[in-house]
Amino acid sequence: MLTVKILGPGCSNCERLKATAVEALQMLGANAAIEYVTDPAEFRRYHVMMTPGLVVNEKVVCAGRVPPTNEVMTLIANVLAEEPSRS
């Protein structure tokens, strides 16, 4: 299953990134578990120094900004394309 994590303290940019990720997933027709991570120790574990951060299947794909929906769709699709198929 696809996992998406939003890393951030809960600020307005974090909320915008979460909404953008949800919209991108809907447009892709992808199901995902979405987790909101607010613990700064977890940010460091992912080497994210600026929030918000977007993590897809444990890979940091964006940090320190809120990309537009079409970019988030591309970021998610790229991670999925890199992974071996689970047939």
**What's the pLDDT tens digit per position in 43-81?**
999 999 999 999 999 999 999 999 999 999 999 999 988
The enclosing H or E element of 56 equals: strand 53-56
Query: Which structural domains are found in the chain, ordered by start?
Result: 2-82 (3.40.30.10)
Whole-angstrom distance, CA of residue 75 vs CA of residue 73 = 6
Report pLDDT digits (tens) over 7-26: 999 999 999 999 999 999 99
Whole-angstrom distance, CA of residue 63 vs CA of residue 48 = 7
> Helix-strand-coil percent breakdown of the chain, rounded to 5?
45, 25, 35
How far out from the chain centre does Cα 38 lie? Answer: 13
The enclosing H or E element of 7 equals: strand 2-7
pTM: 0.91
